[in-house]
Amino acid sequence: MSQYLTSLFSLAGKTAIVTGGTGGLGLEMTLALAEAGADIVSIELPNDPRSGLLAEGVQKTGRSLRVFHADVADSKALRETFAQIWEAGVTPDILLNCAGINRRGKVEDFSDEDIDAVFAINLKASFVAAQEVGRRLLQLNRPGKIINVASIISFIANINISPYAATKGGVLQMTKAMSNEWASKGIQVNCICPGYVKTPLTEVYTRDKAYNDYIIGRTPAGRWGLPEDFRGAIIFLASEASNFVTGTSLVVDGGLWCRNAVIVTTLSDDNTNAMKRSKYYFLSVVPLLRVVVADDRSSVGQYAIQIAAAHGFNVVTTCSLRHAALLRSYGARHLFDYHNEKVVEKIRDAVPELHYAFDTIGDSTSSGVASQAFGEGKSYLCTVRPGKANTENVTPQTEVTDVLVWTAFMKDHRYGKFYWPDDHELASEFFEKLPSWLEDGRIRSNTPKVLPGGLDAVPRGFQEHRGGKISGYKIVYKL
């Protein structure tokens, strides 16, 4: 390597202040800073059992290590620790904000204690540390590097970790805001966004075989990330090589984020006949997955939204405004009023790279209009109409497939001249996972409306259907 490149990435003579540097991802990145030449100042908990690993690792690099104790969740104590660091004569060049925790649970079940703990460490402590280092650099009129650690969850919110997702989204925006104010002062503020990395924080996922296999299958690199995968990223952002890089997020995820596919859904509160009378009816089927609560396909759509969201898909939906909250709770990210004449244009503007569709309406125009929402290039549409019926008018770049859900029941099926052999392996896998998904809230069942009277209530149920009253629920007859 040339002397120029060596010096470009060298941290010789620099001092890096680190939070969360005693374990997992933080430990690996801190040791990388030391190996690149930086002396380390570690802010860590008193009696942290992992501190020996950091001390041993830094010693092997020949760099110095100074340790200051503080619980970063205590803002007052953290500020006092920085005052001690400055009094000790430390001149900062680099800050690595890596302290972080997670708590798991349903949104409605999180206690104030858990919410406060996650916000205090993941977001407020990061802000306070960056503020203290930035303020000191300004006082000394020195350039510097502040590197925050966000997450791929800053972009893709997963279930059962809502406080964590909120804080990591906050770290991303905090990074941009600080960069806007300090870039002209020579202080670069950036963040690293890890994907799924094998650390103690992610053991809950790696121990789950189904989830572990899912992550590996969805990641183009074909594996979980490892802490050592972040050595290059941290050295780049901490060195002169990134002097014109600020306010950005460096995603290190093996390609998972770029594979975040998009499913579009729609929900209507009208019955089929009423929709056919609407001049905007066919525009309302532009999104890729149609949810019609007037018949049994409503369940297909509502469950498909949840399954797609649980697997990291970016779900876009058009809907009646009365169902917006329901679809958001299922995981829909973007919602559009399907009555809007420009709904096709709005979807294309919001999701220009849309290339996948699931049409569960399958009428004479739904697939054709749905395909108009696709971006440029090859696209794919799956229809529930047997034999790919009613797909003659899809756009030329659209490849059509069909699906018959009944093949999950371990027998062959015929529909007119069309024939499908049984294909139940995927359904079997799904049913194995379903109990745990229902338990942890990843999948929620339909909202039932119970009609008393047994079979005598069936005419009443059908009258609700004919009258277009069924909206967002399933009728259940009490026997």
Crossing angle, helix 51-61 and helix 24-35, to 10 degrees?
A: 20
248 SS3 class: coil
Angstrom distance (rounded) from CA 183 to CA 346: 35
Q: DSSP letter for 197, please.
A: B
Q: Which residues of 413-451 are buried (b: 16+ CB within 10 A; e: fewer)?
A: beeeeeebeebeeeeeeeeebeeebeeebbbeeeeeeeb
389, 367 contact by CB (below 8 A)? no
Q: How far apart are CA 56 and CA 60, in angstroms?
A: 6
Residue 143 DSSP label: -
Residues 223 and 256 sit within 8 Å (Cβ to Cβ): no
The answer to whether the beta carbons of residues 283 and 343 sit under 8 Å apart is yes
Residue 36 carries which DSSP code? T
CA–CA distance from 23 to each of 68, 127, 308, 351, 411 (Å)? Answer: 16, 21, 34, 39, 53
User: Which is catalytic among the residues 4, 164, 281, 415?
Assistant: 164
Given a contact cutoff of 8 angstroms between Cβ atoms, the answer to whether 75 and 5 are in contact is no
Active site residue 330: no
Token pair 């899912």 in the structure block, residue: 214
- Cα separation values, 131 from 75, 175, 218, 234, 290, Å: 12, 11, 37, 20, 48
Element (H, E) at 315: strand 314-319
CA–CA dist 275, 77 (Å, integer): 62
Q: Backbone phi, then psi, for 19, in 5-degree steps?
A: -110, 145
Residues with catalytic annotation? 164
